[in-house]
Amino acid sequence: MMSKQKKQHRHKQKASVVPSLGNLDGVLSSSEQVVLTEALRARPPKAIRIRLPQANGPAEEGSLPFSSESVPWYPAGFFCSETHQPGRFLEHAAGAYFIQDAGSMLALRLLDVQPHEWIADVCAAPGGKASAILEQVGPGSGFLLANEPIRGRLPALDFNLARVGFPRYCITSKDPERLDPQWTKQFDAVLVDAPCTGQMLVGKGKQSLAAFTKSQVTHSAARQQRIVSAAAQLVRPGGRLVYSTCTFAPDENEDVIETFLTTHDGWCVETVSDLQPWQTPRSPGGYRLYPHRDRCAGAYAVRLRLMGEPLLNQMIPSKKEIKEDLLVVGEETVGGTRGGYRIQQTNLLTELPKDIERRLEMPCGRHGEIAYRPAKQWLPSHTLALRRDEYWRPCATHELSDREAQNFFQGLSLPAGPLGWVVATWRGHPLGWLRGNKERLNNRLPASARLGFIPLLSSLTKENP
């Protein structure tokens, strides 16, 4: 619980924001800057992004465990009712939806990923946008390069991509200026969710007022110029680049893009007609969200297009028939995968789809984990159990009741069922591994994925006992 002194300090910080917002002159009137400051005193409403197969239209009654309202700039986004905590429901634990600030969905709308495309997210952690991109890339073709320069943020990125259940990605940890040369001009679209001063996070208590100082803004803007220039090298002719931040400062937003366009030939800003209500007055094609207008922390995003035509071999995915390879751990077959190029390290076995491997000079980074060896014996990976693509077939699955699913996420064993390695499912969602013997189903959910509370059942759907 936050101490009284900390609460007073935070309130004092927010009360002194008004003089610091002068850098918004030209994009927001002085009177509206005062309203914005008031909005920074409160946390924005929670929002979620539902899994794409459900996202063809408004959420049907019962598809979410609480009442919700559509996010106007992103079809798969929904604002949650203030009375609910979306992270405490069983549907969230099972991967039916992801918690994400509505403002961060603006960049996803501009990126507009198509299933066959190759996409790079060069500053990808913690993985909210990257997981949405991987969903849109899909299980059958396309590819996501998820790069995160800060190694300490990789576990969160790894976890969020694994939850999607599709194997068509690679995780790297490089400064965007030092990415492998083989990625040059390989991508249909690149996302630069740039490191920034994070001024929009003050309302969430995740950033201090130092974010509004001129020195911080200048330092961030210089770094952003370097990152966006490096990211542009990854875009194929005819491709696109989306630049986004979670800061208000024009120096880190419109100014970065204006400088980029004057120093890089062949690029132009693209407008999106249905986003016109959020267009920034500084530049057509740039879009801003604000907490006092849009019920989110805020966002800035813009889409750039590189002139030219893509190479034909970059547009057509392979349709080759692929043989299934069985995966055996110890003496047990746990399932079969198709189309995988397996890379074995001392204690880790990963798999990269072969059509992706054929297009690369050399596989690099970390691919989808399928098995690991903590001691002498190999074990199937939790990431493998979460797979939802047609190229993975577990030997056995076991559908759980609502109560069993609650127990599973607390790490409890379940009554006897199938023998050997079994993928636990709930309402069709893969949850993780069970290992059955004659007495019970032993829970093999990693400690990092277990919950310290009993996940709630939906109040809008009937319980499956």
What's 299's domain CATH number? 3.40.50.150
Q: Does residue 249 lie in a domain region? A: yes
Domain match, 334 and 287 both: no
Length of the chain: 465
> How high does pLDDT run on average in the chain?
87
The domain total for the chain is 2
Last residue of a domain, one of 251, 276, 306: 306
Q: Are residues 296 and 361 in the same domain?
A: no
- Residues 253 and 137 occupy one common structural domain: yes
Dump pLDDT digits (tens) for 52-70. 874 444 444 456 888 899 9
pLDDT digits (tens, 9 = 90+) for 281-297: 988 899 999 999 999 99
Domain boundary among 279, 306, 333: 306
371 plus 418 within the same structural domain: yes
Q: Looking at residue 367, which CATH number applies to its domain?
A: 3.10.450.720
Residue 187: strand pairing partners:
235
Q: Are residues 292 and 342 in the same domain?
A: no
Given a cut of 60, is residue 212 above it in pLDDT? yes
Q: Is residue 64 part of a domain?
A: no
Asked if residue 22 belongs to a domain, the reply is: no
pLDDT recorded at residue 37: 85
Look at 37 and 159; give whichever has higher pLDDT: 159
- 261 and 333 together in one domain: no
Residue-wise pLDDT for 392-403, tens only, equals: 999 999 999 999
Residue 361: pLDDT band (50, 70, 90) is confident
Give the Å distances, CA to CA, from 136 to 78, 106, 116, 133, 403.
17, 15, 9, 5, 32
Cβ atoms of 431 and 400 closer than 8 Å: yes
- Cα 85 to Cα 97: distance, rounded to the nearest angstrom: 13
Are both 280 and 331 inside the same structural domain?
A: no
Q: Are residues 330 and 406 in the same domain?
A: yes
Q: Are residues 131 and 223 in the same domain?
A: yes
Residue 124, in any domain of the structure: yes
The answer on 350 and 251 residing in a single domain is no
Share of the chain above pLDDT 70, in %: 87
Any domain includes 171: yes
Lowest mean pLDDT segment, chosen from 4-18, 135-149, 194-208: 4-18
Q: Is residue 375 part of a domain?
A: yes
In terms of domains, do 299 and 343 share one?
no
- Do residues 146 and 284 both lie within one domain? yes
Residue 345 lies in a domain: yes
Final residue belonging to a domain, choices 257, 274, 306? 306
Domain extent at residue 217: 114-306
| Residue 441 covered by a domain | yes
